[in-house]
Structure 1
């Protein structure tokens, strides 16, 4: 167990159950890899944190919760689907310990079904971050986002990001973020993701979405785009991160696509695991 992978999650109490599913899938499919989990939050209870600590202990993961003051984000646009905690990842360089040089940020609505090692070892020395775009069969979103946000690059999804924390500390400033919020709040559709793209997308390295940030809604589009080469067998062998973007979420009874049974199988394993260790 060498070359520990540093994982970052920023969430509220409502996403602790999906977090457990994500962590369980990571351990199951990276059994010999060491991980440390950084959980940045504002108001998760001590009882809930103790529960996650015990869960990580059983997985063999180090666990480091960090409580932050989210008052500076009071003016930031938020809705139920996009709570204040989503902004914390933007200031990861400021929040995390200075000795940490990189971290892999993950949304909690993911499954990891293969090794994360290759993504972790991606060279981001000359970049602020590595991320993916969700372009679809025809890339219609990127031209719209380029006009909406005046971008000269693809529109990156912020749900999976390998962050170069040294560059983040040099480039990402709260003053710049707050100015964007103040001036353009009405135009921010996916607030923190829009800010990330508007201010910092030019410093990003594009990596393969079908390996590292596979939108679970888009199987048919990925299959067509690959001329039927990247079928479900390819996904299970080569995709590392399945991302359940949008709504409904896979733990909801309304979710029903090709990957719903896979997610529910992991969820069932976590519930059995929790009962066994309690």
Structure 2
């Protein structure tokens, strides 16, 4: 079977979470081979060597891709949204031209079931496949429609299957920086807002309850499904659990019902790969 290519962008603050995410992939996708691409600006040489060794021990190959952060000097950056979050938007420019498809995953994710059916998804000639988190009432969707003056869904950028050839054709740095200059004061989730403002017409919608399950919204999913999407359903059917927002499952006083599952994978990392924890 063809190798699945995974892209993540992060800084030193998310190295452990990156390892937990990769371990969850290894545990639930035993028949597949993965190439891991990590886009970064300032991960230290020692951390890079440790990551390469850890990923090799999983049986995968890690490609460290250094990105020049200066191109984002005008972009809004907050403590919780570092410059690295923008790297995914121009990934087609710095990834090898031989790569034509890649699956971007945020590091605050667990992969709890096989992911190949997403990797082989028919994208119906769209540039990106992603999910939208609409909540129970859709109020946030309405607000975003007003903000961006369109009727498109608002897509979460934490899980994106990307056609890199189309990304190279359509995604331009000048368009992104112009949008940032124009709407900087309106941007709430900066890179995600830019993604939706510029490219939502080119995104294929995929089911959030399977491919990008916001773990804060379990009651929403349960209610909207009339009780069918419960915890056993998630464990059997959901592929990607996304720990959006705060507090994160590795932080203290976390009441998220899926935090214990995250702690389980964290413990597996500690027990089986302690030298890399």
TM-score, normalisation: structure 1:
0.98
Residue in 1 that maps onto 2:97: 98
Q: Does 2:125 correspond to 1:119?
A: no
Report how far residue 150 of structure 1 moved. 1.4
Deviations 1:192-215 (A, max 9, x none): 000000000110000000000000
Greater shift, 103-112 or 137-146, is seen at: 137-146
Secondary structure class of the residue paired with 1:157: coil
The offset of 1:277, in angstroms, is 7.5
Q: Is the 8 A contact 1:133 1:154 kept in 2?
A: yes
**Shift of the alpha carbon at 1:152?**
2.3
1:228 equivalent in alignment to 2:264: no
Cα distance in 1, alignment partners of residues 26 and 124 from structure 2: 27
Distance 2:103 2:253 in 1: 30
1:52 aligns with 2:51: yes
1:197 aligns with 2:196: yes
Runs of 4+ that moved beyond 6 A: none
Q: Which residue of 2 aligns with 1:248?
A: 247
Cα RMSD for the two superposed structures: 1.1
- Partner residue, 1:266: 265
- Residue 182 of structure 1: how far off its partner (Å): 0.7
**Structure 2 length normalisation: TM-score?**
0.98
Q: 1:6 & 1:151 partners in 2: Cα distance? A: 32
Shift of 1:125: 5.1
Which 5+ residue runs of structure 1 have no aligned equivalent? none
Q: Which residue is 1:107 aligned to? A: 106
* CA–CA distance in structure 2, aligned partners of residues 152 and 16 of structure 1: 37
Q: Does 1:9 align with 2:17?
A: no
Counterpart position of 1:153: 152
Secondary structure at the counterpart of residue 229 of structure 1: coil
Residue 78 (1) aligns with residue 77 (2): yes
For residues 234 and 150 of structure 2, what CA distance do their matches in structure 1 show? 31
**Which residues in structure 2 correspond to 1:163-182 (within 5 Å)?**
163-182=162-181
Distance of 2:275 and 2:193 partners within structure 1: 42
Shift of 1:65: 0.5
* Counterpart Cα distance in 1 of 2:230 and 2:152: 28
| 1:7 CA displacement | 0.2
1:181-192 → structure 2 map (5 Å cutoff): 181-192=180-191
Distance 1:151 1:168 in 2: 21
Structure 1 position 240, deviation (Å): 0.3
2: CA distance between counterparts of 1:5 and 1:259?
Answer: 26
Residue matched to 1:206:
205
Q: 1:178 offset after TM fit, Å? A: 0.5
Whole-angstrom CA distance in 2 between matches of 1:88 and 1:44: 14
- 1:93, 1:165 within 8 Å by CA — same for their partners in 2? yes
CA distance in 2 between partners of 1:151 and 1:111 (Å): 32
Report if aligned partners of 1:125, 1:164 keep a CA contact under 8 Å in 2. Answer: no
Contact 2:124–2:204 (CA under 8 A) maintained in structure 1:
no
2:50–2:276 CA contact under 8 A, matched in 1: no
Secondary structure of the structure 1 residue equivalent to 2:64:
strand
Contact 1:29-1:113 within 8 A present in 2 as well: yes
Residue 264 of structure 1, CA deviation: 0.4
> Partners of 2:53 and 2:164 in 1: how far apart?
28
